[in-house]
Structure 1
Amino acid sequence: MGGTIIMKQKILQVQGLRKHFGKHGSMTKALDGMTFDVLEGEFLGIMGKSGCGKTTLLNCIATALKPTEGKILLNGEDIGGFDDRRLAEYRGSRIGYLYQDFELLDNLTGRENITLPLAIHGKEEGIEADRLPELVDYLEIREVLDKFPSQMSGGEKQRVAAARALIPDPGIVIADEPTGALDTENARALMQKLNGLNREFGRTILMVTHDAGAASYCSRILFMKDGYIFHELRREFPQESQKDYYERILAAMAQLGGSADVF
């Protein structure tokens, strides 16, 4: 008898997504027919030159922008049909968002920044008690819980921000250039933590990045150009090393018309 094939669930489905700005002759097509799925437990990267539509895509997924056409489905539900209550639930607990520039509140401690989503959305204190210690220990930020952002390093700020994104236990984490404001050492440390969250804890992550090194932690990469997907890379587990995958990413970036510093 053959082995059982396990079909992974499609957590996020982007279907024919278009976003146009302006009218008629001055129209800009920021997204021009994006279609892709994010599978449960996947670490999916999206790469492309500045202006290709990556930020617009994330803003549509986060519901900061309304698409001109197309659908975004989370666990099969069209988020475009959500009422205000369900939108608040979606933003507050069903997706987590990790920003490039941390977006921590300066007047709150590390602990208060992490638990802010629970306070805003009226989550039970039990969630904080159960989940906070695990996240704090894994991300190695216990020593900054009582510090303000001005007292933290860039790496500590981004790990606090990661804990904030994860504490509501979202189905998917959206990471927007998470290493963009970090030096090489802190960028590598953060990516190792995100990789562990994905590989060891099954967290689903969708990450936009310019950085081939960060992208090498992804299991699959979509390359965007002019608002659509035009190339895809998959890491060949288990035989392909991260270094070999990184070299393949660099080769693809060069072949597709950009170098690592402009992607």
Structure 2
Amino acid sequence: MKNLNKLLQIRNLKKVYGSGQNSTHALRGMNLDVIPGEFLGIMGPSGSGKTTLLNCVATMIKPTSGEIILDEMDITKLWGDELSNYRGNKIGYLFQEFELLDNLTSEENIILPLSIHNESRKKMDMKLKRIAEQLDIVDILKKFPSQLSGGQKQRVAASRALITNPAIVLADEPTGSLDSKNGRILMEKLSYINKEEGSSILMVTHDANAASYCSRILFIQDGLVFHELRREIPEESQEKFYERIIDIMGQLGGGSKNVLTFNKG
């Protein structure tokens, strides 16, 4: 299946854990597309299949059936060197808990994906300089993770995810371990890179503030897409989009407990 207008196509994706009476259907025939340069958010209640979906795209887990087509390749059929190349070059992964190596400096953590694929030192330095400036972490490149704040760690992790210029960045609750200020800073940086560099981002989040930076949001429930929201750019403000997100979260069963104060600062 080829479609040059779609970067990522997910077709009838199913994931079943266990078997028989003990089976759990995490994904029940998921269908969605991501277009090049899109910032797509995935939201839904706990257990709805959000992280399972992301991990299938990342090839951390194998779906039970269905297709995941990125850049015209069905990644569910990749093995060996092709799978390694996909993980190293086609995707970048931004974890909630940073997943930085404590014995490496920020600089060494960021360039690790390039080192693994034997990139030249000159190219690594050029890419490092560019991404460090974009995420405002030039002054902490020689520091170890233990010397960094949570917000700094996540920006280092984001730099590592972006430095290979992947086809798509997968972000799993990127603001989940950050306070509101650092969460806002991170989302502003990701939004800037999405708009200025055309980086495609697929983000799973519970955070309505974080989701308001997206251009489109898919709400999923019981392993299927439940609803879609598109931000009307440039007419619709981020705050208005946030309010619409909150409305849908309430319909999904979150009620007032999911309502967060919108941070204008």
Q: Same fold (TM over 0.5)?
A: yes
Per-residue deviation, residues 56-111 of structure 1 (Å, max 9, x unmatched): 11111111111101010111110122121011111111100000000000000000
Identical aligned residues as a percent: 58
Alpha-carbon distance in structure 2 between the residues aligned to 1:151 and 1:40: 36
The structural deviation recorded for 1:14 is 0.7
Change beyond 3 A, Cα 1:18–1:47 = same
Distance in 2 of aligned mates of 1:82 and 1:159: 30
1:216-231 alignment runs, 5 A limit: 216-231=212-227
Matching residue of 1:56? 52
Q: Is 1:236 the equivalent of 2:218?
A: no
Q: Secondary structure at the match of 2:93?
A: strand
Give SS of 1:132's match: helix
**Structure 1 residue 122 displacement after superposition:** 2.1
Deviation at 1:261, TM superposition (A): 4.6
Deviation at residue 144 of structure 1 after TM alignment: 0.9
- In structure 2, the residue matched to 1:116 is 112
Q: Partner residue of 1:136?
A: 132
1:82 corresponds to: 78
With over 3 angstroms needed to count, the CA separation of the structure-2 counterparts of 1:234 and 1:34, relative to structure 1, is: same
2:165 corresponds to = 169
Q: In structure 2, how many angstroms separate the alpha carbons of the residues matched to 1:116 and 1:260?
A: 42
CA separation in 2, counterparts of 1:238 and 1:145?
36
Q: Secondary structure of 1:200's partner?
A: helix
Q: Which runs of 5+ in 1 are unaligned?
A: 1-6
- Give the Cα–Cα distance (whole angstroms) in 2 for the partners of residues 160 and 205 of structure 1: 17
Shift of 1:121: 2.2
- 1:149 — aligned with what? 145
**TM-score, scaled relative to structure 2:** 0.94
Partner of 2:34: 38
CA contact (8 A) 2:27 2:222 kept: yes
Q: Distance in 2 between matches of 1:176 and 1:260?
A: 24
Matched letter for residue 71 of structure 1:
E
| 8 A contact 2:249–2:258 mirrored in 1 | no
Which deviates the most, 177-186 or 249-258? 249-258
Q: Which runs of 4+ in 1 moved over 6 A?
A: none
3-state SS, counterpart of residue 10 of structure 2: strand
Aligned partner of residue 181 in structure 1, secondary structure: coil
Contact persistence 1:29–1:227 (CA under 8 A) = yes
- 8 Å Cα contact 2:26-2:223 kept in structure 1: yes
SS in 2 for 1:44: strand
Matching residue within 86, 90, 106 for 2:102: 106
**Secondary structure of residue in 2 paired with 1:106:** coil
Q: Which SS does the other structure have where 1:185 is aligned?
A: helix
Q: Is the partner of 1:196 in helix, strand or coil? A: helix
Q: Amino acid of the residue matched to residue 24 of structure 2?
A: T
Deviation digits for residues 197-245 of structure 1 (CA, Å, limit 9, x no counterpart)? 1111111000000000000000000001011111110001111110100
Q: 1:260 to 1:181 in 2, by over 3 A?
A: farther
Structure 2 residue 205 is the aligned partner of structure 1 residue 209: yes
Counterpart contact for 2:249–2:255, Cα < 8 Å: yes
Residue pair 1:49, 1:262 contacting (<8 A) in 2 also: no
**C-alpha distance in structure 1 between counterparts of 2:198 and 2:43, whole Å:** 22
Please report how far the alpha carbon of residue 119 of structure 1 lies from its aligned counterpart in structure 2 after TM superposition.
1.3
Give the aligned length. Answer: 257
**Alignment RMSD:** 1.4
| Counterpart-to-counterpart distance in 2, 1:172 and 1:238 | 24
